[in-house]
């Protein structure tokens, strides 16, 4: 086979880039080693050493790309306007190689330009109508460090003259879309499309809302945006912090490698329950309970519960001090409480004012004057004192407050009767735990605990532990499912109102799911008019599968347009009827068929939540090796996944079990089924016992 000189030249350049990258790493390692082994010195010297070590560590982290390709393309700019009409003359402009991280040679000349740099923008944005100064855009098809192919696009005058002899390989985007899924979300840095790049590079201030249908890449775009903002606004965001919030831990596991592959390992990726310290939130509430806990009126209940713990004495407390018996009356306690409330913003913050007032009051009741500090030291350990203080103004954690509140019908009714019916309050009640730290909270309890933390404030000796951290930018995925109370948690953690909010209204499956972005935005910081973007092109779902799913969209979100799939070719969905007796046999056969069809790719069996045990039993009987999504990971080729856990994920092949049961059993059936039908990147199958929903039997919707 004849060698391709262009391919060889580009391979040599890529080899040079890797050598420069390794030299940069060695320099960082050398600096770190030398500084780390240096003498102790003065405080200033030790401080400077720590700073240098941190900087070296950051540089090492930024250059760590693992097995990902360093360089994925090149742009050739139009040369300066010189005499002569030829395109060859115009190709004398600058040439830039685009990659994951910036790399320079020994003379500090750029070898690779970071994909986030302004000069790299035309690589993603240039079109025939708007070439953005380019004559050529070249995509590299690589496997690790090896260049496999080249795909060239030409612009302007150069097109006719250069296209005939060009080396054109398989389109980078289509090639990436056809790759088998590994169970982890990969970056799209080599194949970002124009509408996606516009979202990624949108200005930092304010709230950016991104509506995107299934397969439009909204999640990965949001993650690339986080990386872009950190690159562009390193100061101040590196100090303020960037937070990415996902819907569940399975989702976090799915996206965990994207940002590190882009050289950004310092972003905090979390679920909402991570925002409240020292709690376990794994319980699941019934939809009616979840809905109540998500409504803002719960704030009034919690605020009243806090005030109810600032209680006057029922009867006079007698404090022994020497031969005296000092009396603190219920009226005295009421005045102390009123005074402390005026001076404090939070409950725990007010305790010090209350306690000081209590000791001053006791000292004032003595026959002979005595400094209140002396009185405090003499009576603070008395059981009478401790009992009185605990009665009137206890120090509380959020867990203790809500454990007491919801564990007592009397306290629940006292706090909430103004805003809730008796039936609703009954739904909030739970058995009181002996120790609050033993409680397993539901995810819907997290915003309530956070609201309590805001009102209670840090405990005096736990200010760092109890403090609410804020962030310079927050990325929220699947925002359409966030309740008003959950959005309140996010608002509380925003330092300056800078957020990226992504989701799909048609995929609102939670009890508190929203039907419009307006209902979401009213609960977020609006320091300026929000920016909006819509991703309209679908990259994941083949057109035949999207056509089937779009029928459900008419029920899930009437009037919302489905994304336009660029993958017009694709296998038609396989729809099979089975019976209860044959379900196991037919399921195992369907799994075998899909595994054989996709080779090394991933297969998900997506079933109604109530069917997980039945599906797993059928696969066990058939000897099928499978993983369990509810355990937290897609670590097998075949995975059983309840339909409630697959949002945001993508798999090569999906077998959706009994769509009618999903419609009937899940809280938001149409939206949940729409999610299930749009997870597959290659093959979609439906296996059903119950009759197929009528909408799926109907002709396609125009």
Q: Per-residue pLDDT for 105 more than 60?
A: yes
Distance CA 376, CA 360 (A): 8
Q: For 328-385, how does the pLDDT look when each residue is reduced to its tens digit (9 = 90+)?
A: 999 999 999 999 999 999 999 999 999 999 999 999 999 998 999 999 999 999 999 9
Q: At what angle do helices 287-294 and 297-308 cross, to 10 degrees?
A: 70
Confidence of residue 167 (pLDDT cuts 50, 70, 90): very low
Per the CB < 8 A criterion, the answer to whether 635 and 183 are in contact is yes
In 3-state terms, what secondary structure has residue 92?
coil
Residue 467: both structure tokens together? 């403090």
- Tally the residues of the chain: 702
Higher-confidence position of 591 and 524: 591
Q: For 433-475, how does the pLDDT look when each residue is reduced to its tens digit (9 = 90+)?
A: 999 888 999 999 999 999 999 999 999 888 888 899 999 999 9
Average pLDDT of span 513-526: 91
Distance CA 42, CA 582 (A): 78
Give the β-pairing of 537-538 and 499-503. Answer: unpaired
Which among 514, 486, 497, 493 is positioned nearest to 207, based on CA atoms? 497
Average pLDDT of span 63-69: 77
Of 126-130, 261-265, 317-321, 430-434, give the lowest mean pLDDT range: 261-265
The pLDDT, as a whole number, for residue 28 is 82
User: Tokens 């379900």, residue?
Assistant: 583
Per the CB < 8 A criterion, the answer to whether 653 and 685 are in contact is yes
CA distances from 603 to 16, 72, 595, 612, 660 (A): 40, 29, 7, 16, 21
The pLDDT, as a whole number, for residue 169 is 31
Mean pLDDT of the chain: 89
Q: For 657-689, how does the pLDDT look when each residue is reduced to its tens digit (9 = 90+)?
A: 999 999 999 999 999 999 999 999 999 999 999
DSSP state of 193: -
Distance CA 369, CA 55 (A): 61
In 3-state terms, what secondary structure has residue 462?
coil
Distance CA 697, CA 464 (A): 58
DSSP state of 523: T
Alpha-carbon dihedral angle through residues 278, 284, 287, 293, given to the nearest 10 degrees: -10
DSSP state of 645: G
Q: How would DSSP label each residue in 575-642? A: EEE--TTTHHHHHHHHHHHHHHHHTTS-EEEEE-GGGHHHHHHHHHHTT---EEGGGT---SSEEEEE
Q: How would DSSP label each residue in 657-694? A: E-HHHHHHHSTTHHHHHHHHTT-EEEEEEEEESSPPPH
Distance CA 552, CA 678 (A): 11
Of 37-46, 135-144, 260-269, give the lowest mean pLDDT range: 37-46
> What is the pTM assigned to this prediction?
0.87
The pLDDT, as a whole number, for residue 632 is 66
The pLDDT, as a whole number, for residue 80 is 43
Confidence of residue 88 (pLDDT cuts 50, 70, 90): very low
* Percent of the chain whose predicted confidence (pLDDT) is above 70: 90
Alpha-carbon dihedral angle through residues 128, 132, 135, 136, given to the nearest 10 degrees: -80
* Percent of the chain whose predicted confidence (pLDDT) is above 90: 70
Phi then psi for 177, rounded to 5 degrees?
-65, -30
Q: For 117-127, how does the pLDDT look when each residue is reduced to its tens digit (9 = 90+)?
A: 999 999 999 98
Q: Which long-range contacts does 466-471 make (Cβ < 8 Å, 24+ apart)?
A: 466/277, 466/397, 468/492, 468/493, 469/241, 469/493, 470/240, 470/241, 470/494, 470/495, 471/240, 471/241, 471/242, 471/243, 471/268, 471/495
Distance CA 384, CA 391 (A): 11
Cis status of the peptide bond prior to 270, with omega within 30 of 0: no
Q: Per-residue pLDDT for 634 more than 80?
A: no
Per the CB < 8 A criterion, the answer to whether 278 and 458 are in contact is no
Q: Per-residue pLDDT for 2 more than 60?
A: no
């Amino acid at each position: 086979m004849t060698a391709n000189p262009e391919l060889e030249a580009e391979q040599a350049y890529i080899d040079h880039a890797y050598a420069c990258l390794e030299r940069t790493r060695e320099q960082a390692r050398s600096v770190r080693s030398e500084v780390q082994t240096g003498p102790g010195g003065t405080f200033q010297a030790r401080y400077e050493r720590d700073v240098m070590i941190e900087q070296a560590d950051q540089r090492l982290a930024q250059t760590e790309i693992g097995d990902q390709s360093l360089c994925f393309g090149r742009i050739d700019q139009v040369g300066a306007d010189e005499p002569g009409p030829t395109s060859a003359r115009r190709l004398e402009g600058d040439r830039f190689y685009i990659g994951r991280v910036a790399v320079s040679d020994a003379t500090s000349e750029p070898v690779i330009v970071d994909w986030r740099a302004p000069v790299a923008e035309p690589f993603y944005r240039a079109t025939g109508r708007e070439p953005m100064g380019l004559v050529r855009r070249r995509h590299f098809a690589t496997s690790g460090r090896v260049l496999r192919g080249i795909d060239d696009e030409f612009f302007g005058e150069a097109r006719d003259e250069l296209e005939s002899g060009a080396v054109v390989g398989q389109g980078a985007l289509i090639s990436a879309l056809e790759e088998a899924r590994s169970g982890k979300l990969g970056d799209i840095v080599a194949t970002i499309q124009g509408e996606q790049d516009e979202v990624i590079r949108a200005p930092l201030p304010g709230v950016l809302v991104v509506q995107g249908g299934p397969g439009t890449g909204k999640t990965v775009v949001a993650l690339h945006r986080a990386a872009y903002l950190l690159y562009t606004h390193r100061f101040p965001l590196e100090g303020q912090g960037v937070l990415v919030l996902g819907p569940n831990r399975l989702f976090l596991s799915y996206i965990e490698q994207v940002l590190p592959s882009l050289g950004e390992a310092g972003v905090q990726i979390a679920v909402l329950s991570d925002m409240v310290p020292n709690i376990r939130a794994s319980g699941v509430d019934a939809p009616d309970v979840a809905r109540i806990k998500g409504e803002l009126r719960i704030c009034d209940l919690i605020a009243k519960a806090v005030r109810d713990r600032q209680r006057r004495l029922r009867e006079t407390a007698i404090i022994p001090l020497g031969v005296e018996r000092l009396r603190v009356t219920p009226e005295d306690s009421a005045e102390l409480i009123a005074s402390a409330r005026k001076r404090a913003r939070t409950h725990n913050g007010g305790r010090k004012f209350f306690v000081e007032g209590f000791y001053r009051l006791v000292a004032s009741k003595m026959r002979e004057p005595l400094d209140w500090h002396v009185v405090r030291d003499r009576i603070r350990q008395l059981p009478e004192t401790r009992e009185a203080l605990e009665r009137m103004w206890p120090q509380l954690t959020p867990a203790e407050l809500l454990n007491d509140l919801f564990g007592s019908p009397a306290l629940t009714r006292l706090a909430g009767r103004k805003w809730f019916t008796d039936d609703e309050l009954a739904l909030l009640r739970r058995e009181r735990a002996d120790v609050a730290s033993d409680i397993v909270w539901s995810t819907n309890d997290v915003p309530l605990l956070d609201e309590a933390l805001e009102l209670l404030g840090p405990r005096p000796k736990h200010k760092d532990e109890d403090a609410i951290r804020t962030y310079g930018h927050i990325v929220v995925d699947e925002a359409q499912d966030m309740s008003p109370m959950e959005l309140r948690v996010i608002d509380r953690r925003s330092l300056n109102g800078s957020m990226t909010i992504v989701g799909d209204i048609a995929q609102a499956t939670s009890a508190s799911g929203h039907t419009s972005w307006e209902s979401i935005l009213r609960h977020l910081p609006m320091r300026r008019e929000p920016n909006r973007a819509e991703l309209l092109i679908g990259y994941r779902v083949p057109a035949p599968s999207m056509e089937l799913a779009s029928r459900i969209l008419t029920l899930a979100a009437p009037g919302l347009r489905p994304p336009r799939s660029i993958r017009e070719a694709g296998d038609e969905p396989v729809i099979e009827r089975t019976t209860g007796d044959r379900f196991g046999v037919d399921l195992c056969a369907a799994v075998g068929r899909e595994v054989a069809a996709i080779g090394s790719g991933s297969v998900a069996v997506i079933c109604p939540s109530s069917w997980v045990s039945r599906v797993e039993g059928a696969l066990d009987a058939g000897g099928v090796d499978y993983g369990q999504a509810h355990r937290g990971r897609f670590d097998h080729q075949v995975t059983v996944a309840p339909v409630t856990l697959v949002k945001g994920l993508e798999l090569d092949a999906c077998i959706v079990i009994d769509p009618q049961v999903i419609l009937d059993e899940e809280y938001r059936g149409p939206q949940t089924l729409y999610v299930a039908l749009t997870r597959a990147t290659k093959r979609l199958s439906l296996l059903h016992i119950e009759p197929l929903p009528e909408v799926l039997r109907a002709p396609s919707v125009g």
